[in-house]
Amino acid sequence: MKKQDITFGIHAVEAVLKHSPERVIELWVQAGRDDKRLATLIQMAAEYGISVQTSARKVLDEKSDNGQHQGVLARVKAVKQLNDNDLSALLDKIEVEKTETPFFLILDGVTDPHNLGACLRNADAAGVHGVIVPRDNSVGLTPTVSKVACGAAEVVPLFQVTNLARTMKSIQDKGVWIVGAAGEADSDLYKTDLKGPLAIAMGAEDKGLRRLTREGCDSIASIPMSGSVSSLNVSVASGICMFEAVRQRL
């Protein structure tokens, strides 16, 4: 497991300073860049006693693999990778407290970090308890994911599980209903009951849900589409599905 990682971009760095300042080892900012938002981050770092280094843009480009670092980059302690046991513990906690209804997003085979980052941002906005992905054939928490997530990666748990089908069965045993999204489904998303303990399962844009994942769902629903486009980007589709659940729960 990695001991250190890189976080870049104003929103991503601000989120880790706000939620987990103890993880930040040092801050790198672009020399000569006059930006009020950077000044705020530098002040936050100073309050926590975090070292701040100035550096040329070329150096930051190299450290962020030419990502859009916006003039700031942080070297951080790697976040703990959450797994099946952590997911089970969270469900048990929700069951004991009985103050919230379980709400999860399952992403099957999403390998594009930009898509995962956008899905995490959607998930945070929709108030889900966590995002579940398979450990293999799926992207994890990379610096690009954190950058695109605009801070959501710091607050939305990402559970990387060994066997997705088995994990789905285990959360079903705890009373969570799993609705899979598939374009060819006869059932309409807007006529599907999404108010109870719920996990929404989404597949990658090109392949959709894998067979075992689809078979593990309690029901399948489609997003009504009237245009000529046959499918939506997974982050867009996940946002539509999660916020339909939010609408019903309101």
- Looking at the structure, do residues 42 and 131 belong to the same domain, yes or no? no
Higher pLDDT pick, 127 / 32: 127
Q: Which of 77, 97, 132 is the last residue of a domain?
A: 77
Between vectors from CA 114 to CA 134 and to CA 240, what angle results, nearest 5°? 80
Domain CATH code at residue 173? 3.40.1280.10
Domain CATH code at residue 43? 3.30.1330.30
pLDDT in tens, 105-155: 999 999 999 999 999 999 999 999 999 999 998 998 888 898 888 888 889
- Looking at the structure, do residues 135 and 227 belong to the same domain, yes or no? yes
- Looking at the structure, do residues 136 and 59 belong to the same domain, yes or no? no
- Looking at the structure, do residues 22 and 146 belong to the same domain, yes or no? no
Report the C-alpha gap between 157 and 191 in whole angstroms: 29
Comparing 57-66, 102-111, 153-162, 225-234, which segment has the lowest mean pLDDT? 225-234
- Position 16 confidence tier, pLDDT thresholds 50, 70, 90: very high
pLDDT in tens, 158-207: 999 999 999 999 999 999 999 999 888 888 999 999 999 999 999 987 78
- Looking at the structure, do residues 115 and 201 belong to the same domain, yes or no? yes
Q: Which residues does the annotation place in the binding site for S-adenosyl-L-methionine?
A: 203, 223, 232
- Looking at the structure, do residues 97 and 48 belong to the same domain, yes or no? no
- Looking at the structure, do residues 234 and 197 belong to the same domain, yes or no? yes
pLDDT of residue 86: 96
Report the C-alpha gap between 216 and 72 in whole angstroms: 43
Q: Which residues does the annotation place in the binding site?
A: 203, 223, 232
- Looking at the structure, do residues 9 and 118 belong to the same domain, yes or no? no
Q: Which of 43, 77, 111 is the last residue of a domain?
A: 77
Report the C-alpha gap between 52 and 60 in whole angstroms: 13
- Beta strand 24-30 with 72-77 is antiparallel
pLDDT of residue 163: 96
- Looking at the structure, do residues 44 and 161 belong to the same domain, yes or no? no
How many Cβ atoms sit within 10 Å of the Cβ of residue 195?
Answer: 12
Report the side by side order of strands in the sheet with 4-8: 4-8, 72-77, 24-30, 51-55
Domains identified in the chain, total number: 2
Q: Which of 47, 77, 107 is the last residue of a domain?
A: 77
Domain of residue 187 covers 84-249
